[in-house]
Structure 1
Amino acid sequence: MPVETESVQELITSARFVVFDFDGPICRLFAQYTAQRVAGELVEWLALHGLRELLTDEERRHPDPWLLLRAVDQRHPDSDLVAELEEWLTRHELKAVPTAWPTAYADPLIRTWSAVGVRLAIATNNSALAVRRYLDSRDLLACFAPNIYGRTQDLGLLKPHPHSLNRALNALGAAPSAALMIGDTPADLIASREAGVPFLGYATNVEKADLLRSTGATAVVSSLWPLLRVLRGQM
């Protein structure tokens, strides 16, 4: 058995608490209503309000609306502008929920983990309201509720800050070493490292996998099927 396969199996079998990132490991939120489109609309919104120069040229071309939101927050922290943009992004996330694509094997993995008594939570930079609406649409909300920790208006607490992950651990009553974080970005990995939680990376392509490994991930999977197979072997 390859070393990384052994590492994944050990992470799964030793976890008593599992904290998921949302967009990526559970679903692709902006599958049809794309994140790049949302980022472009955010740039247009700023331009219409005479605030185009709040972003650099590079930022205005960036396809990540959360990066743009944080950029504005860094220049105008705790402002009414940031609060309005955060609410704007939440509305767009809610708009994207009906067309989100479930990550392959995520639904049965979540149900199986819950069925074997592992307690689950979500720590995400997305709106908790959008997360709850998506989970409810998949009949998965009961597997997590009430342990869903999303974006707050203090954008300095977004991952890679471990705030949402620590909130999840505290609510679960979980020792960090008994938990597992599943995420798909370096920010997820850094947050888990800061919180002292073992990390399992999920990457849909070689570039994302290499990025996670270059950030320090030692276990990365391209599918959730191996996780489900390990769990079913324990039942």
Structure 2
Amino acid sequence: MSNAVSFLREISLWSVVLRLIMALFFGGLIGMERGSRHKAAGFRTYMLVCLGATITMLLGQYQSEMLNMCWAKYANVTGMRTDVTRFSAQVINGIGFLGAGTIIVTGHQAVKGLTTAAALWASACMGLVIGAGYYECVFLGFVLIFFCVRILNPIGTHLIEKSRYMNLYIEFESMDDVRAVATRLREYGIHIYDIDLDHGKQEEFRYPNAVFTMRLNGKQSHAEIIAGLFKLEHIKLIEEV
């Protein structure tokens, strides 16, 4: 057992495959739990961040091994003592500012762009691996990142639709209508955790609105709840956020 673990700690093709798949799996498990609770960072975001961090760590180990083996004689001849990991560290720090620019909070108080930022960061990590010539990690890393971004999108949407946690953005004609919505939700057996109210602004033609954070009893689907609320009078807009 100890020999097998020692082998997997070395930099080899099988070690790279195992580590990247573990990052995908365990990051996805954490993201699945967060997504089921309707948090902003969900299934794919956690996968991509865990995957990018694993790729970066693999790159650091690869560079260290190359400096001590294949590149050792050139470093001794030239007297080079440069820490090559500093360059990748600067890229990781810098890409954070670029990724932050893709994250926005919408007018409905919903956070958007987290998965895009995570994909951007993971792509930057993959670019570092390409630049280092770590080809075994490059191709598998690309496949897994593409898998997260493209293939897993319907799965993430399905998890949100089946979640027992729900956030609804609702616009009314007046703030007096909030009580009618809350009463209807309680009739469905829904537990309301929080109501974030906004009185709106007449000069900006904004209706009064509220974001309801709640937990479903498991009997109704999200679509049925939204359809039931639309039957109330004075409701202008309902969106799940």
Which interval holds the TM-score relative to the shorter structure?
A: under 0.3
TM norm structure 1: 0.23
Rg larger in structure:
2
TM norm structure 2: 0.23
The structure where helix makes up a greater share of residues is 2
